[in-house]
Amino acid sequence: MIDLIGTKITPVEREMLLHPNTGGVILFTRNFESIKQLETLTAEIHSLREPHLLIAIDHEGGRVQRFHEGFTRLPSMATFGKMYREDKNKAKQLAEKTGWLMASECLATGIDFSFAPILDLGHGISGVIGDRAFDSTVDIVSILAHEFMQGMKRAGMAATGKHFPGHGSVKEDSHVGHPVDRRSLADIMMEDIIPFERMISYGLAAVMPAHVVYPQVDENAAGYSECWLQKILRQQLKFEGVIFSDDLSMEAAAPAGGYTERARKALQAGCDMVLVCNHSAEAKEVLEGLGDDINPASAMRLIRMHGHVHLNKAELHASEEWQQTVELIEPLSDSPELELDI
């Protein structure tokens, strides 16, 4: 999965998108100018290949929401955790509606899926997680994430839980540092893993591992670890969905070597698709360096991530459900000034 530098596809990018090793595109704020432009861009990307390239985005709400004009401003997930402690039913209903709203608005403009929801525990340790987490407790995170996922599913979008097996207990930001979580496997299994385990039982379609090293379990970061991805996620938790790497351009991914080596190690560990963002030359290097040995099992799993569009933008905005949901959700937004580039 690669990215684009602007609001239109350049000739070089078109060539990369047609490369057989390219399976998807992730969009960022720089790729958005207007709803009409976005719809044109996504339609062009989808028209290049059959089956079409996946189009993804990080559109969680709160500090991580790529597009704004023409999209409802979504609250941080911690909003629902706080609400749950006062009114469980209200929090569950609004989390489900927010998942539906996010997914419906993205699908209506040609985006297949958003990398959401966050399943990390918000212990107040990790600044990069912070209010992106629903709560600090396993039960509340599991319940609200399930509701959010159900809303996404109702809209026609597959959910991706991140960051396996849990990023909430390390202070360092994996974008710029090398997080290390020194807890034992037993401690992690007793806490951070539980939301992932429950969401898998609910039908979670995809997982994104953390660029975090858990030395009591493996010397490799989770996204490069056969122990985490094969032994624990696939075999022990019986996960049969897609495993996406986190961005291989992040600082915490660097110890694995050059970009092609990072991609190769992530795929060998068990990832179905790797992300290379904000480094076009390196992404091209990876495409050329991996060869043509595409895993058919990965290809079959990735087909499940295609979005199922129920309403186009005009139909969505004309619907009574959208109008009522926006009235409920938009006032919950804390309108943060900072947008994390995650």
What positions carry a catalytic annotation?
Answer: 175, 246
Count of beta carbons in the 10 Å neighbourhood of residue 231: 15
Phi, psi (5° rounding) for residue 205?
-85, -30
**Distance separating alpha carbons of residues 133 and 120, to the nearest angstrom:** 6
Strand 59-61 relative to strand 64-65, pairing: antiparallel
Contact between 272 and 242 under an 8 Å Cβ cutoff? The reply is yes
From residue 234, give the alpha-carbon distance in Å to each of 67, 213, 301. Answer: 34, 19, 13
**Distance separating alpha carbons of residues 254 and 256, to the nearest angstrom:** 5
Count the alpha carbons within 13 Å of 226 in the hemisphere toward its beta carbon: 4
**First-last CA distance in the chain:** 15
